[in-house]
Copies of this chain bind each other. A is one copy, B any other.
Amino acid sequence: MDFSIEEAEVPSPGPDSIVVRNHYASLDPAQRGWMDHAPSYMPPIALGDAVRAATVGVVHASAHPEFAPGDWVMGMNAIEDFAIVHPGNVITKIDVTLVPSPTLFLSAMGATGLTAYFGLLEHGRPKAGETLLVSGAAGGVGSAVGQIGKIMGCHVVGIAGGQEKCRRLIQEYGFDAAIDYRGKTVDQLADEIARVIPNGADIVFENVGGTVFDAELMNLADHARIILCGMISEYNDPDPIGARNLRQILIKSAALEGFLFIEHMSRFAEASAEIVRWLADGKLRIDEDVQLGLENSYSAFMRLFSGENIGKLMLKII
């Protein structure tokens, strides 16, 4: 992958368009997928184009009757100082006085919180007393999934890389147990999961893929539900090992479901309101990993794949 920083004049808005000064850009595993030219749910980012990203910012200039300079907005823009938002692009005004920081519109109330909320509640259908196994558990989505699982009364076990992340899962996010996947083979990790949850997982929330997923598959309870949210370990691997234990899905009458949080758009307001209540009640916290400066976009983005990232990753542009 090659990235460069390009300079250009600050644009003027065309008819019914606005120009947004981006303050924060969301950095997500999904962006890596948009860089591939395989079939996907969005067109790929074309070579030479700016890297598509959800951003939060302030209207700089407007030729649209509903937006005025100074309005805070969020939308699907790109990692850049200024974005031209054309009619038909995804853009919405936000009230930043409601929350301690506008970054919450990219974390708890953005794709991260909504992915955790709809993925677990709609696709996992957790019931009190069930066992929930979460991979990528120290990431923005994973840590939120585990905490929402606890709110629902589940026994929650997280898988993460390294002792510090495992400590955080238990002490800061309230997980019941944490498993460090680093340095383990599929069999070793599968055995360790089996020691922690001998009756298997009723729900698996999958963010990682690869060997972690194969080890989880060996630990399914009957009729387990697996929510396929991401497979980050495989995105940059030219020859991924593939899932070799899928037969366990057959043997356990389990189900694996993929989903896109945007399909639940009609319920975003309701979900955001519930998330904000949980935040206010201290039942949910979503840590933010805010990296500074457009010039650091690439090194910031790569934190997702190196395992350095803890919490919701984003870039502060201004």
Contact B257 A255 (CB under 8 A): yes
Contact A218 B255 (CB under 8 A): no
Interface-facing stretch out of A53-61, A153-161, A245-253: A245-253
User: Which of B230, B244, B248, B250 is A242 in contact with, Cβ under 8 Å?
Assistant: B244
User: Which of B230, B231, B252, B256 is A256 in contact with, Cβ under 8 Å?
Assistant: B256
Contact B231 A247 (CB under 8 A): yes
Interface-facing stretch out of A20-28, A99-107, A258-266, A269-277: A258-266
B interface footprint on A203-240 (CB within 8 Å = 1, 0 otherwise): 00000010000100010000000001111001000001
Q: Does A243 contact B (CB under 8 A)?
A: yes
User: Which of B39, B253, B263 is A259 in contact with, Cβ under 8 Å?
Assistant: B253
Q: Does A90 contact B (CB under 8 A)?
A: no
Contact A252 B258 (CB under 8 A): yes
The distance from the CB of A217 to the nearest CB of chain B, in whole angstroms, is 10
User: Which of B240, B252, B259, B263 is A244 in contact with, Cβ under 8 Å?
Assistant: B240
Contact B249 A258 (CB under 8 A): yes
Task: Give the complex CA separation of A209 and B248 in angstroms.
Answer: 13
Interface residues on A, range: 20 to 34
Q: Does A46 contact B (CB under 8 A)?
A: no
Task: Give the complex CA separation of A255 and B230 in angstroms.
Answer: 14
Q: Does A299 contact B (CB under 8 A)?
A: no
Interface centre among A33, A248, A255, A260 (most CB of B within 10 A): A255
Contact B263 A258 (CB under 8 A): no
Contact A230 B250 (CB under 8 A): yes
B-chain residues with CB within 8 Å of residue A229 when the two chains form the complex = 250
Interface centre among A39, A247, A249, A253 (most CB of B within 10 A): A247
User: Which residue of B is nearest A247, CB measured?
Assistant: B231
Q: Does A300 contact B (CB under 8 A)?
A: no
User: Which of B242, B250, B260 is A243 in contact with, Cβ under 8 Å?
Assistant: B242
Task: Give the complex CA separation of A234 and B249 in angstroms.
Answer: 14
Contact A255 B256 (CB under 8 A): yes
B-chain residues with CB within 8 Å of residue A41 when the two chains form the complex = 251-253
Q: Does A241 contact B (CB under 8 A)?
A: yes
User: Which of B33, B40, B251 is A258 in contact with, Cβ under 8 Å?
Assistant: B251
Q: Does A178 contact B (CB under 8 A)?
A: no
Q: Does A254 contact B (CB under 8 A)?
A: yes
B-chain residues with CB within 8 Å of residue A259 when the two chains form the complex = 250, 253
Contact A253 B263 (CB under 8 A): yes
14-70 of chain A: CB within 8 A of chain B? 33, 39-41
Given contacts A39-B218, A242-B243, A244-B240, contact A251 B33 (CB under 8 A): yes
B-chain residues with CB within 8 Å of residue A258 when the two chains form the complex = 249-255
The distance from the CB of A204 to the nearest CB of chain B, in whole angstroms, is 13
Top 4 nearest A-B pairs (CB, nearest first) are A242-B242, A250-B258, A249-B258, A242-B244
